[in-house]
Structures are given as C-alpha cells and as structure tokens.
A and B are shown apart, each in its own frame.
Chain A
Amino acid sequence: MSDTSTPLVEVRDVHKRFPLPSSFLSSARPKVHALNGVSITVQRGEAFCLVGESGCGKTTLGRTVIGLEKPTRGEVHYGGQRVDTLDDTARKPIRQHMQMIFQNPYASLNPRMTVQQILEEPLRFHCPELNATDISETVNEVMTSVGNDPAWGQRYPHEFSGGQRQRISIARALMVSPEFIVADEPISALDVSIQAQVLNVLMDAQAQRGLTYLFITHDLSVVEHFGTRVAVMYLGTVCELTKTKDLFATPRHPYTQLLLSAIPRMDGQAFKHQPIPGEVPSPVNLPSGCVFHGRCPHANDRCRTEVPLLNSTKSTAQVACHAVEEGRI
C-alpha cells in the first residue's frame, strides 16, 4: 500500500445498472444505465474532480468507489488491491483509509445522536484499543482543526447551522485519519458565504493531512479553484479527462465547451452561451454511439453508431470524441 507509483484509486471499466421497478404483468425489466464503462485513476495527493449535470453518474461513481454500491461490471482497486469484491470483514481495514462527506448536512448526521457520539463512533469501531481519554483528545483535536468548538460535544445536530453541521460531518470523516476522501457535493447545499468557509476547511485538511480527494460537484468555478485533474461526465460516461488548467484553457469535447459557456459570469458580458437544442436523454434507453450525439453540432454518422473511447491525445488530455480524434474540431 505504501508503493507510491501505483495510483491510490483505480476504477477499471465500471458499469452500474439499477433495475427499475418493473410492472407486475410485463416481462420487460427496464434498467437505469448509471455508469457505462468508466475508467479513472486517482493519484496520491490529488484533488480529482468529477463534474457533470444531474444524472450523469458522478455520484454513483463516487459511491461505487467508496463501496456503497457494487459495480455491475468492472473493477475498483484501492492502493493496488481489488476492493469491490471484498466482504465486510476483509474490507474493514480499508474502510479506515477511505471516508466520505455528503451533500446534505441536514441528513448526514443522525438527529438522535449527540455530536460527541457521532464523532466517537467511527474511532471506537476501528480502534477499539483506544481508551476514553485518547478518544476525547482526538475529538477535540479534529473539531478544532475544522474550526469547530470542541465544547459542542453534548449538543444535537439540529442545534447547528448548515455550515457548522457540514464541518461536523468533515470532522467525522477525519476521525479515523483517512488518506482518501470522497466528497459528494459538499458545499452545494450551503449558502454562498458559508461555501468559502467549508471549502477552506477542506483545503486545509488536505494540506495538513496529505489527503487525496475525489471531489464531486456540478460547480465548475469550484473545480477551477480546487481541482488538480477533472473528469467531465455525461450520461454515465467520461467525455473528457484532463488537468484542470487545460480544461478551462482549451476545452476539447463539445459537451465541455457547452458546459463552460453556460456558467453565469459576473464580468459584465452578456450571455456567451450558444443554446444547444434538446435535453439530456433518458439513461434508461441510452442513445446508440456517442451519448452526446443528439445534442452535438459536430455529430456525423460515425458518432451515431460507434461509441467513442477515451483516447489520449497529443497532450495529457483524454477526450472521448470522434470529431476531436479526426481533427474535425
């Protein structure tokens, strides 16, 4: 596990399907194709971002990496070890290294437990040899490091504001000293003035503890500020994977270009956005070929029939687009 050359997390050709409730009388078993052959690697010390619009599979990918969902097909490796097939007992030592921060600070803390109980639980479970003093010291240390008052311990989650709760949630994830954290839209439920606070806490924790993040968000300005590399997802596939700087400087995939043009900016310019007709197709009946071809201005017959693969281009950027590959854009 200490080998630095192997990626910390590797996702290989992962597919995930969710069965829809089928009707009693019909034999059809419709499925949601949430992930369709996704491969990513996360290096140690990275803040790897997953961006995309709702329903693109970014959350499902995060949940699959952390082990909340089992992939229908494909493999998830952590520190060189395949983890998606492990049972609960074999997985326990790995769980200590990976933690998750959730989107909704109002739902991610058990309302019937005190802050102290919430924070102690992961540590007591993973390190039963610790005594009460050690545990309460760790609680104090972690609470202070995320900017919370350690004296909050005896209070219940509902007594705190959204930002405070999200910091408690971060503290819970940090309790077992993980090396990898999946953060699923950790600031999107928060108010503007609080988002900056929580983002700073996450960046501090990364600097102090050498954390690796898989950061899931729909907010491109956060990606630009925070991410080292970024994967843009659309309908369960990665359409572009590159360094953050490159993505914003030279977006290559037509969907990335659409996404970037749609961000509202404060620079005083009117909309640069070129509306593209149509909406995201249903993930139940995936389009043939490239999933984006229905909305893509560059689509041709090949795009409608052949699924583009995530190819390395000249630079480090990987783009899944026939048009880019053929030099049409």
Chain B
Amino acid sequence: MSDTTQSAPGPLSRLLASDIFYRFRRDPVAIVSATIVLLFVLAAALAPLIAPQNPYDLTQLDIMDSEVPPFWQEQGDPRFLLGSDHQGRDMLSTILYGTGLSLIIGVFAVLLQAFLGVSIGLIAGYNGGRIDAFFMRLADIQLSLSTLMIAIIALAVFQAAFGSELYQDLAIIMLILVIGIAEWPQYARTVRASVLAERSKEYVDAARVIGLPRSRIMIRHILPNTLSPVLVISTVQVAEAIIAEASLSFLGLGMPVTQPSLGSLIRSGFEYIFSGSWWITIIPSIVLVVLILALNLLGDWLRDALNPRLYSRR
C-alpha cells in the first residue's frame, strides 16, 4: 500500500506505480488542492523574481501611491494589480512575500513539532511505564492550555523583556519556536499510539531475539512503521501553524509590519476597512482561507488514502 517511501528500483517509478498515486489521480479534490498548495509554494519561492516590487525595500515605496484600489476598480492603476496599502506597497508583491513567510513559519514550526513529538512519542511508547506516564501527563497538561494562550504569554513576555526592536529581528525564530513547542503533544500522542501497536508485532520480537539494542530497534524498526499517520497530521498541522501565526500577527504579537506575513497584512489593513480600502484586508484574507482550505483538504484525502480499510469500502 504505502509504496511511497520505498526506494529500489527507482523511487519515481515506484511512486507512479503505487496505489497512493493511483488513488490521487482518481480524486479531483486531491488534485485541485495539491495543485493550489503547489502554486502557493512556487509563487512564494519565486516571489523575488515575479513580484513587481520588493515590499521590504523602503526606497521603492512612494506614499503618493498609497491606498490605490485593485485594477478592476475605477481608480485602479495597472502598476498595482491588487491595489496598494496605506504605505504605497503593492499588495500583490506583499502577499507573495507574506505567503512565503507564513509558509516558512508553518513548515519549520511543524518540523520542530514533529521532531519533538515523534521523539517523545517513540520513547514513551517503547519504554512504557513511568516514562510513558510522565510524558503523557505532560502532554495532557499542555493540551489543556491552548496553543494561542501559551504563545501570547511567551511572546508578550519576550517583547516586554527584550524590547520591540530586538523582537522584530527575531520574530520569525520566536514564532517558529513558540508554535513548534506548543503543539508537540499532537505528534507525541499519534506516534505513541502507533508505537504501542507496532511494539507488539512479531518483527519487533524478532529484533529483540537477535539482541539488537533498544535504540536501534526504536529507530530502525519501529520508527519507519509509524510514519504514515505522522505524514497525515503534518499537512493539517502546517495549516494549524499558519493560522496560529496569522492570529498572533493579527494580535500584534507576530510578524512586524515591515516584514508582513499574511496575518500582519490582514491586521494592517483592518484599520482602513471602514474608510473604504477593503482590499488591504480582504485580499490577504481570501489568500489565507484558500491556502488553509487546500491544506486541510489534502490532509483529509491523505488520511483516507493511507487507511486501506476506508478505501476498500468505496
């Protein structure tokens, strides 16, 4: 079933021949959402090449161009396809760069979550007993506090302690750390559950009979067999992390206005929404919603596709 991680002979040909790819090709929702996510990633990665303007370069900005509406409106200006904000920044460029920032924070925060969660889940699940009980109670405590609450407290304390100047420089790293650390229990629980299922299988006994050390059994034998559910929650977790980042930025605790992510863009435009400049807020919001929706649909599809029992019913 999950031929995707196998190497020989030729990973690409194996992937193309796999059941997963076959199911992917037959599911229009999967194809559309994967295409959208891919387009976002490409656009963000190529932003310096395709964006009409570098929104970080203050010298390119002209305050006279501020609050130009999108091109299809009467006072539109073809230089600013999606209009401009109150500082005269081109919205299209800002959104392209902002999407990139949002994706970077989302992906790296999830990598951190996965690293912490998978390690803890593996150790807790394989060893059991007190170690397991300790980490799982810790996870329960962490889950009883919402991610946003932890993040708000941590970021506010940091801002107060080190001043907003330093904060602006370190905002990306801080967001990745805070969102990454706050969400590890999701991974730890998922991995622990599959470790418990795998641990009782005979191939693990066989490795123990050979005499392999614990660490090797965990990493070489059990870990690779617990990765499918990790893959599934990862897509959804990226979406969650992007939302968390956007919410924090909207509250003024995230990316600074000089380096706007999608969330800080929505926030910065929010003040002007009643003065008629709706596009500064609405357009980045739509981008955010589409991106999150595509990621979630992709995650849903992946969960169904990797669950053979569900598939057989269709």
**Contacts from A to B (Cβ < 8 Å):** 63, 66-68, 88, 91-92, 95-96, 98-100, 102-104, 107-114, 121-122, 125-126, 154, 156, 158, 169, 172, 176
Contact = CB atoms under 8 A, between A and B. Distances in A.
Contact of A110 (B5, B208, B221): B221
A95 B210 CA distance: 6
Nearest to A184: B202
Nearest to B203: A110
Given A100-B205, A108-B202, A156 B210 contact: no
A156 B221 CA distance: 14
A234 B159 CA distance: 70
A107 B225 contact: no
B25 interface: no
A100 B133 CA distance: 32
B206 interface: yes
Nearest to B213: A88
Given A111-B225, A156-B6, A88 B211 contact: yes
B209 A95 contact: yes
A100 B203 CA distance: 11
Interface of B is mostly: helix
Given A111-B225, A121-B210, 11 more contacts: A66-B209, A67-B209, A68-B208, A88-B213, A102-B206, A103-B202, A108-B202, A110-B224, A110-B225, A111-B203, A158-B1
Contacts of B209: 66-68, 95, 98-100
A67 B205 CA distance: 10
Nearest to B6: A156
Given A112-B225, A114-B8, A154-B8, A92 B211 contact: yes
Contacts of A67: 209
B39 interface: no
Contacts of A122: 210
B276 interface: no
B211 A95 contact: yes
Nearest to B214: A88
A109 B203 contact: yes
Contacts of A103: 202
B209 to A, nearest CB: 5
A111 B6 CA distance: 10
A125 B212 contact: yes
B79 interface: no
B28 interface: no
Interface in B210-235: 210-213, 221, 224-225
Contacts of A172: 206
Contacts of B212: 121, 125
Interface in B50-70: none
Contacts of B206: 100, 102, 108-109, 169, 172
A96 B209 CA distance: 9
Interface of B: 1, 5-6, 8-9, 201-203, 205-213, 221, 224-225
A168 to B, nearest CB: 11
A181 B225 CA distance: 27
Contacts of A126: 210-211
A113 B219 CA distance: 13
A135 B77 CA distance: 72
B202 A107 contact: yes
Point out which of B8, B203, B224 has the most chain A C-beta atoms below 10 A from its C-beta: B203
A255 to B, nearest CB: 29
A154 B9 contact: yes
Nearest to B7: A114
Contacts of A156: 6
10 contacts: A67-B209, A88-B211, A95-B211, A100-B206, A102-B202, A108-B201, A109-B203, A121-B210, A154-B8, A154-B9
A107 B208 contact: no
Contacts of A113: 221
Contacts of B202: 102-104, 107-108
Contacts of A121: 207, 210, 212
Among B201, B210, B224, B225, residue most surrounded by chain A Cβ atoms (within 10 Å):
B210
Contacts of A96: 211
A121 B8 CA distance: 18
Nearest to A105: B202
Contacts of A68: 205, 208-209
By CB atoms of chain A within 10 A, which of B5, B205, B212, B225 has the most? B205
Contacts of B224: 110, 112
Nearest to B9: A154
Contacts of B213: 88
Contacts of B211: 88, 91-92, 95-96, 125-126
Nearest to A153: B8
A-B pairs, top 10 by smallest CB distance, nearest first, are: A108-B202, A95-B211, A112-B224, A102-B202, A122-B210, A110-B203, A107-B202, A107-B201, A100-B209, A154-B8
A187 B5 CA distance: 31
Contacts of A114: 8
Contacts of A88: 211, 213
A112 B222 CA distance: 10
Contacts of A169: 206
A188 to B, nearest CB: 13
Contact of B205 (A102, A112, A125): A102
B86 to A, nearest CB: 54
A63 to B, nearest CB: 8
Contacts of B207: 110, 121
Contact of B203 (A91, A108, A125): A108
